[in-house]
Every structure is written in structure tokens, then in C-alpha cells.
Amino acid sequence: MGSAAIEVLPEPLPTAGFVPYGATTTEVVGESLLRDRGTSLADMAGHIAAGGHLVRVVVVELAATGDYVPHIRCSWQPELGYRPIAMRRHEGSRSWSDFRALRRALVGLGYTGPVVVYPEGHPRLACLGIGTPD
């Protein structure tokens, strides 16, 4: 049997009307990736290893589930204010069902300061620039 060369032609990716994962139909293509959805645990660990630190932590207690969603203020990007912690980049907020486990995770990131907990919908959250978790 002889070996015949097979030619593979590149197929162009769709461009017109293509909406990336996570974007709504009213967003410009790629806009959802530019929108900040949180700081991933891996990114935080990298910044902390480079000398950064967590400045403050505010936790939102979700009414429906009782889970805790932390929002952090970072020394490496103070202009962004409070940002939720995400498991991976461009994902929604990470939540903890056990407050002690959340506290251990924060201590593991080097944060030993106070943790303020507000119930979901508290007016102070809006003053801090913290919206509803995704």
C-alpha cells in the first residue's frame, strides 16, 4: 500500500454574527472578556508571591443558600475596588458554604485582617461598589 498525501485546507472561522461564550447578543464581540468578573485564585497567588497583599475583605451572605461570597481589595490593583474571587479567569464568583473554610482560604492567601459580612442586598454593599454575585 502506498502512502498518499492528504491536503488539509484551512477553514475560515465565522466572523459575521459570531458571539463569543458568555456574551449577550447586545454586546460587541469580545466585550465580555474585557468585563471584569473577578480575580482568580491562581492570579491572586501569583500577585501575592510577587509581594502583593489583600487590603480588605468584604463577604456577602447569600439569602437563598446561606453561602458566602468574598470580595477583595488588592494592593496590586487598588483602582478596581472590591472584586469577587473566582475559581478561574472570566468565571463567576466563587462561594463557600462554610465560613471557617473561607477564613482558612483567606489565611492561606496571607490575609489575617478583619472580615466584614453583609447580608445580600444590604445598602452598604452598593456604597462599596459591590453588586449582586453572578
Confidence tier at 104 by pLDDT (50, 70, 90): very high
- Can you tell me whether residue 41 is helix, strand or coil? helix
pLDDT tens sequence across 46-77: 899 999 999 999 999 998 899 999 999 999 88
Return all residues near 72 (Cβ < 8 A) that are at least 6 apart.
39, 44, 54, 55, 56, 57, 82, 83, 84, 85, 111
Rg (CA), the chain: 20
Determine the Cα–Cα distance for residues 26 and 36; give it in Å rounded to an integer: 17
Phi-psi region of 89 (alpha: psi -120 to 50; beta: other; left: phi over 0): beta
For the residues 6-27, what does the mean pLDDT come to?
54
Mean of the per-residue pLDDT values of the chain: 78
Whether pLDDT at 22 is above 50 = no
Considering only 84-93, 99-108, 109-118, which range has the smallest mean pLDDT? 84-93
Among 57, 36, 33, smallest CA distance to 108 is for: 57
pLDDT tens sequence across 106-123: 999 999 999 999 999 999
Q: Taking the complete model, does pTM exceed 0.75, yes or no?
A: no
Whether pLDDT at 129 is above 70 = yes
- Can you tell me whether residue 99 is helix, strand or coil? helix
Confidence at residue 3, expressed as pLDDT on a 0 to 100 scale:
62
Q: Which three cell numbers stand for residue 100?
A: 471557617
Whether pLDDT at 43 is above 70 = yes
Confidence at residue 34, expressed as pLDDT on a 0 to 100 scale:
41
Whether pLDDT at 27 is above 70 = no
Confirm if 94 and 69 have CB atoms less than 8 A apart: yes
Q: Which three cell numbers stand for residue 134?
A: 453572578
Domain boundaries, the chain: 36-127
